[in-house]
Structure 1
Amino acid sequence: CCENGGTCILGSFCMCPANFTGRYCEQHAVTLPCGDVPHNDWMFQGCSLCRCGNGTFLCI
């Protein structure tokens, strides 16, 4: 079952609302500007693991 307001699709998948990700929408995703970090690089921002893509970090 989906968490954080996600919508169950076909009984197996979740469509997550903005700022949530994961199979069950269980992870809070935050976007931040990448600055000088190269595209597709991963790094920690505080306690979150973030990946730079298209100029913004997606953090989980």
Structure 2
Amino acid sequence: MKVFVEKETCIGCGVCENLCPDAFAIQDDGKAVAIEGASEAPCVQDAADSCPVQAIIIEE
């Protein structure tokens, strides 16, 4: 499984980082990024489901 954040779509709200800090971080540009190994975190799907703009992509 691969997890990534679409930078063009991300609004930097921080929901993903708050729900799943082991998998996501907000960078200096205010956009979220998936941390290496994010696919191993059990909260990734919750973060993706909670993203208000569906910027988190999970590929099987």
Give the TM-score of the pair, scaled to structure 2: 0.28
Structure 1 or 2: larger helix share? 2
Larger radius of gyration: 1
Structure 1 or 2: larger strand share? 1
Q: Name the structure, 1 or 2, with higher relative contact order (CA <8 Å, separation 6+).
A: 2
Give the TM-score of the pair, scaled to structure 1: 0.28
